[in-house]
């Protein structure tokens, strides 16, 4: 969001999976037989390939493709649920993205809740429209467009920049060719309206909600559209509601650069282990030298400087991955590229994420003149040389997108109920300024800021102070008396 711009959005979900905590366990028997209202959703096993963990149940729900024509074409949402179907409350969760699958999130969140909170809620997540097991959008096979080793992110000449522009344009054309009839309706506003259909299906007067990263934009949109149906709402790692998606990537870039400095400083303190340098500056120099070496001779003929940049970007979301990344680079410098290749191969995703592009490119306006992109990115690169061009190329297909731009919902109103905002001070994907601005537009909200930069605080950062705030609110509905702060979790 944020991780909604950098393709490493999946890193948030991956990080959550790495640190899921022990909690109440779901029964393995299918719950439909003892259900009341939600039994109409026909809960059963989840679709093959959805990676839903044991104890998760799935159901489908039909929603309008176009809410302006609600009696027209209907599309499918696939929901997942964990916990007691007859629990007093239902917590709807979105893991971010946009376009991130939520099928595995329900069980992950529910099993990580404290026992008393888990007893009060069942947890529901879903693949949003355009995603996975719901009616999906497609961009066809884009793997042939993205070769590894990839062209450097920061173009050394016009030819390299043109090569990446050509890929971006072809991706946009393929998306239009494969999903032209769906793309205009893959918007955050429509996804929020879909969530209200989920609330109705569960016969809840108010929807309780937990959203991470892009999920904060989705939740805030819901609260704006449906204030009287908004219940307890936690927005974690908050998207800036006051700027366009295009502008938000330029907020990200210096935050990512700052976070990279923290990573280099951490590695310097552990020079005895990783041998990357004894100061932040020396580690940064070693990193740059490693990139140049990979550009000259890619590891395994497939991991060059761009792939190393991908690895660094993915590591910015959580310090839980820092040791693995530092070790991979250390091993490569010592002559063993296996761990580096293993890591970069996992990030060499099979083409683009069509749903992420669909939401980003339609939700609000993007410049169509490439000169604007070039000028803004070059200026950003002065302060964020490691990430400015990388971030731009992930979203560049939006410059050539065919589907019409939606009119975004202006988040916040006097009727929006108070919500809880959780934010890390040095979060690189959703910088802290976004949390502060969300606090300003959501009347009565409370903002709790933790030290450190881990993206995704509640339940999965190991921060007991942040967990205490979130769990108390879910259990009692009581917000902190005022904005608050929490210490950072210790670095690994």
Active site residues: 213, 427, 455
DSSP helix/strand/coil, 144: helix
Cβ atoms of 79 and 124 closer than 8 Å: yes
Calpha distance 121→86 (Å, rounded): 9
DSSP helix/strand/coil, 175: helix
Please name every residue paired with 18 in a beta bridge, in sequence order, or none if there are none.
none
Calpha distance 373→389 (Å, rounded): 10
Calpha distance 238→4 (Å, rounded): 11
Name the token pair of 77. Answer: 């949402």
Q: The tokens 């016969």 sit on which residue?
A: 203
Cβ atoms of 97 and 1 closer than 8 Å: yes
- Among 59, 368, 50, 67, residue whose Cα is nearest residue 188: 67
* Alpha-carbon dihedral 143, 149, 153, 155, rounded to 10 degrees: -110
* Alpha-carbon dihedral 318, 322, 328, 330, rounded to 10 degrees: 160
Query: 382-385 long-range contacts, Cβ below 8 Å, gap at least 24?
Result: 383/253, 383/254, 383/257, 384/253, 384/254, 384/256, 384/257, 385/154, 385/257
CA separation (Å) from 390 to 93, 164, 182, 224? Answer: 29, 11, 28, 33
Calpha distance 193→245 (Å, rounded): 20
Residues with Cβ within 8 Å of 153's Cβ and at least 6 positions away in sequence, in order, are 164, 306, 309, 389, 390, 393
DSSP string, 369-395: -HHHHHHHHHHHHHH-TTTHHHHHHHH
DSSP helix/strand/coil, 239: coil
DSSP helix/strand/coil, 476: helix
Number of H helices, E strands in the chain: 17, 9
Q: Given the DSSP bridges, would you call strands 57-64 and 74-82 parallel, antiparallel or unpaired?
A: antiparallel
DSSP helix/strand/coil, 146: coil
């Amino acid at each position: 969001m944020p991780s909604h711009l950098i393709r490493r959005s999946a890193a948030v979900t991956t990080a959550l999976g790495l640190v899921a905590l022990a909690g109440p366990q779901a029964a393995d028997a299918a719950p439909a037989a003892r259900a009341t209202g939600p039994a109409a959703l026909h809960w059963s096993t989840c679709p093959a390939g959805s990676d839903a963990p044991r104890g998760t149940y799935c159901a489908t729900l039909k929603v309008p493709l176009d809410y302006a024509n609600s009696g027209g074409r209907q599309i499918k949402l696939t929901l997942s649920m964990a916990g007691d179907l007859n629990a007093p409350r239902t917590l709807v969760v979105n893991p971010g993205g946009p376009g991130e699958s939520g099928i595995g999130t329900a069980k992950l969140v529910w099993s990580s809740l404290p026992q008393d909170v888990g007893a009060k809620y069942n947890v529901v997540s879903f693949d949003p429209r355009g995603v996975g097991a719901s009616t999906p959008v497609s961009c066809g096979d884009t793997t042939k467009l993205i070769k590894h080793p990839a062209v450097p992110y920061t173009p050394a000449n016009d030819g390299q920049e043109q090569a990446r522009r050509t890929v971006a344009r072809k991706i946009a054309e393929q998306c239009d060719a494969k999903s032209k009839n769906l793309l205009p309706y893959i918007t955050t506003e429509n996804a929020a309206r879909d969530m209200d259909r989920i609330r109705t299906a569960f016969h809840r007067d108010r929807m309780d909600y937990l959203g991470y990263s892009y999920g904060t934009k989705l939740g805030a949109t819901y609260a704006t559209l449906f204030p009287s149906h908004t219940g307890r709402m936690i927005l974690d790692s908050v998207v800036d509601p006051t700027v366009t998606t295009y502008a938000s990537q330029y907020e990200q870039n210096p935050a990512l650069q700052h976070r990279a400095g923290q990573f280099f400083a951490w590695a310097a303190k552990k020079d005895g282990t990783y041998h990357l340098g004894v100061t932040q500056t020396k580690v940064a120099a070693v990193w740059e030298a490693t990139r140049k070496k990979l550009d000259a001779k890619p590891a395994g003929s497939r991991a060059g400087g761009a792939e190393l940049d991908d690895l660094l970007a993915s590591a910015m979301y959580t310090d839980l991955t820092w040791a693995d990344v530092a070790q991979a680079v250390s091993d490569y410098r010592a002559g063993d590229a296996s761990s580096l290749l293993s890591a970069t191969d996992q990030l060499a995703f099979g083409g683009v994420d069509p749903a992420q592009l669909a939401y980003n490119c339609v939700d609000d306006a993007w410049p169509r003149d490439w000169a604007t992109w070039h000028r803004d990115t070059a200026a950003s690169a002065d302060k964020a040389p490691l990430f400015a061009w990388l971030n731009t190329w992930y979203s560049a297909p939006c410059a050539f997108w065919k589907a019409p731009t939606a009119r975004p919902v202006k988040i916040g109103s006097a009727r929006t109920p108070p919500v809880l905002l959780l934010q890390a001070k040095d979060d690189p994907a959703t910088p802290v300024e976004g949390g502060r601005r969300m606090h300003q537009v959501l009347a009565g909200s409370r903002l709790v800021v933790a030290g450190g930069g881990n993206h995704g605080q509640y339940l999965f950062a190991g921060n007991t102070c942040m967990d205490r705030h979130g769990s108390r609110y879910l259990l009692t509905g009581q917000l902190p008396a005022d904005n608050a702060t929490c210490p950072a979790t210790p670095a690994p």
